[in-house]
């Protein structure tokens, strides 16, 4: 019978696990290691390399090497390398194919199914893309589960007592924090928060920027436009970051980094842990802000936890561990390998589904609110964030124009009251509505979110009884719609223009806030604006995109700290374009 494995499909590295003799076991890859680099390369002689082989040749073949593809999952990105045209899920499927082949070789048996983990803050389209990648690799994807939840499952299997856990998961490309309660073998997620563009890669880029700046100071030579040199610098930055987790100082040496008028140019400089921590302090601070967000959503204080789980290789950095331990009063869980526990948890979930693991049940939550755009560009939440899954919620809408023949269902995910500020998931047209004056038709829209966090939508005209059923699938490329937004099934990667639009929104909001009454709110927004502008002016688009996410998070916060009472159900207008 075909086996089921658990897969941690990471931004930087992947790991896999399987149940053997009633216990989870980490599966080594063909190279004998427990983790596989998430790197794919296409060579000049037509070879496709995955894992260690791809990583080792990256400096010599930077244009043919793909790294950190996880950050682009669910977008309409198309990579063109030679004759290859690849979407992010195509690249991820190549990684999953290697993992599957390595697992089959080690097990001596067929691998047919998998439980695959994703960041807790992955959107619906990113989850769909991950499922599609698994299917392209020949896997039956039994479940998509959140990485912090998987880590908690791994820890929970060791502990039979009731407890409250906080999982701080800082991986290579994403960050999540989740609060969970375990009672009587039931693991329930209380709240979650995160940023899909914050991880160890960002620490590497900060150091890489420092190296490039120092090199230019020393030699007068810029490394811009030199892909091979930039790749070597990035690799050296990652190595320095890792070394500074154990040492107080490291020496970065890059011989023959470039060529000048007088011949080869070399780089050598010492970097202390203190300097490294100072230049990356804003990244650590951003994770603590999101940790606070998760606590607020759960209605909890930073104390009262039974255990703190530090997950992801980036949590090995001393500054990260110190910042979390300063803020959260809880013992750090022992016996949890930050690189392997997520894959182990995925394997345990597979065991729960197959019946191999008894006495455990997982109840996860929706990471971000789901809803529809209404007339005027507003966002009506149908399923709020941190709602337990699976869930079904309905709202009744009506028409805005007399004899309106149909409505546009524009689906978004996020927390802003303005639809355009949230993640666009798709647009679907529901036609054939009974002709009537505006406000007369009643259209019931139901959102059903399954245990994988994937959305299914039903629209039901209560007058004509016509019904539309669909699954929001944003994994297929399509052209932009007439209104300039992506057409159905398309998600766009962040751009400089979007960051500049966020800055304009932030400035407008600052103009409305009272300098005295809203002092704290203004200070947070002003700090986010200043950092975003600095990154843009410095032409560091990656940093600008990161601070843009921070800025988006600030803009989505309510102006008043006290929650508003829940509004009674009512009919709302849906937009329609003639």
**Residue 244's pLDDT band (cuts 50, 70, 90):** very high
Let me know the angle formed at the C-alpha of 357 by 351 and 363, rounded to the nearest 5 degrees. Answer: 80
Does 169 qualify as catalytic in the annotation?
yes
Does 90 qualify as catalytic in the annotation?
no
pLDDT at 296: 93
Q: Which of 76, 89, 125, 147 is catalytic?
A: 147
Q: Which of 55, 70, 98, 241 is catalytic?
A: 70
Q: Which of 90, 169, 238, 293 is catalytic?
A: 169
Does 275 qualify as catalytic in the annotation?
no
Strands 163-170 and 175-183: antiparallel
Q: Is the pTM of this model over 0.85?
A: no
Q: What is the DSSP letter of 576?
A: -
The residue written with tokens 């020496």 in the block is 251
Does residue 36 contact residue 15 with C-beta atoms inside 8 Å? yes
- What distance separates the 2 farthest-apart alpha carbons in the chain? 82
Does 339 qualify as catalytic in the annotation?
no
- d(CA 319, CA 334) in angstroms, rounded, equals 19
What integer is the mean pLDDT of 394-410?
Answer: 84
Please provide the average confidence, as pLDDT, over all residues in the chain: 85
pLDDT at 176: 93
Q: Is 151 helix (H, G, I), strand (E, B) or coil?
A: helix
pLDDT at 184: 82
Does residue 120 contact residue 178 with C-beta atoms inside 8 Å? yes
Candidate from 69-78, 102-111, 275-284 with smallest mean pLDDT = 69-78
- d(CA 306, CA 276) in angstroms, rounded, equals 32
pLDDT at 491: 33
Classify residue 408 by burial, with Cβ atoms within 10 Å: 0-12, 13-18, 19+.
middle
Checking if the pLDDT of 324 tops 50, the result is yes
pLDDT digits (tens, 9 = 90+) for 124-159: 889 999 999 999 999 999 999 999 999 999 887 766
**Which run of H or of E encompasses 95?**
helix 88-107
Q: Is the dihedral of CA 101, 103, 107, 113 positive or negative?
A: negative
């Amino acid at each position: 019978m075909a086996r089921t494995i658990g897969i941690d499909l990471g931004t930087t590295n992947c790991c896999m696990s399987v149940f053997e003799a009633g216990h989870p076991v980490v599966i080594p890859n063909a190279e004998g290691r427990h983790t596989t680099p998430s790197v794919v390369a296409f060579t000049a002689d037509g070879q496709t390399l995955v894992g260690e082989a791809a990583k080792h040749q990256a400096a010599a073949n930077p244009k043919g090497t793909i790294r950190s593809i996880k950050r682009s999952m669910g977008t309409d990105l198309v990579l063109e390398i030679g004759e290859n045209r690849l979407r992010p899920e195509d690249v991820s499927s190549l990684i999953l194919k290697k993992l599957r082949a390595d697992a089959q070789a080690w097990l001596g048996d067929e691998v047919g199914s998998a439980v695959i983990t994703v960041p807790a803050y992955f959107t619906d389209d990113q989850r769909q893309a991950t499922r599609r990648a698994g299917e392209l690799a020949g896997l039956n994807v039994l479940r998509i589960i959140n990485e912090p939840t998987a880590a908690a499952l791994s820890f929970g299997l060791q502990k039979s007592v009731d407890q409250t856990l906080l999982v701080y998961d800082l991986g290579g490309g994403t960050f999540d924090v989740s609060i969970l309660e375990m009672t009587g073998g039931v693991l329930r997620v209380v709240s979650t928060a995160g940023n899909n563009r914050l991880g160890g890669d960002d620490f590497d880029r900060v150091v890489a920027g420092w190296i490039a700046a120092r090199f230019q100071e020393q030699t007068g030579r810029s490394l811009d436009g030199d892909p091979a040199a930039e790749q070597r610098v990035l690799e050296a930055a990652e190595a320095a970051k890792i070394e500074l987790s154990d040492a107080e100082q490291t020496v970065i040496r890059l011989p023959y980094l470039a060529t000048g008028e007088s011949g080869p140019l070399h780089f050598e400089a010492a970097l202390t842990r203190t300097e490294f921590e100072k230049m990356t302090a804003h990244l650590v601070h951003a994770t603590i802000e999101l940790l606070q967000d998760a606590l607020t959503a759960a209605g909890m204080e930073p104390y009262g936890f039974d255990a703190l789980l530090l997950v992801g290789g980036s949590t090995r950095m001393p500054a990260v561990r110190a910042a979390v331990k300063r803020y959260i009063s809880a013992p750090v869980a022992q016996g949890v390998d930050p690189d392997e526990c997520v894959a182990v948890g995925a394997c345990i979930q597979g065991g729960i589904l197959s019946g191999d693991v008894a006495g455990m049940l997982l109840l996860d939550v929706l990471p971000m609110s789901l809803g529809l755009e209404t007339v005027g560009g507003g966002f009506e939440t149908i399923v709020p964030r941190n709602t337990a899954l699976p869930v079904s919620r309905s709202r009744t809408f009506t028409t805005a124009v007399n004899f309106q023949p149909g409505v546009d269902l524009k689906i978004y995910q996020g927390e802003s009251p303005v639809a355009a500020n949230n993640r666009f998931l798709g647009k679907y047209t529901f036609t054939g509505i009974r002709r009537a004056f505006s406000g007369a038709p009643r259209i019931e829209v139901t959102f059903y979110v399954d245990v994988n966090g994937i959305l299914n939508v039903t629209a039901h005209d209560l007058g004509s009884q016509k019904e539309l059923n669909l699954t929001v699938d944003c994994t297929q490329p399509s052209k932009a719609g007439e209104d300039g937004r992506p057409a159905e099934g398309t998600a766009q990667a962040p751009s400089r223009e979007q960051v500049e639009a966020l800055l304009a929104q932030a400035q407008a909001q600052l103009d409305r806030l009272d300098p005295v009454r809203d002092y704290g709110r203004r200070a947070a927004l002003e700090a986010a604006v200043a950092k975003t502008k600095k990154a843009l002016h410095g032409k560091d688009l990656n940093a600008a995109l990161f601070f843009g996410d921070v800025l988006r998070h600030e803009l989505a916060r309510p102006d008043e700290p006290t929650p508003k009472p829940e509004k009674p159900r009512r009919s709302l207008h849906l937009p329609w374009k003639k």
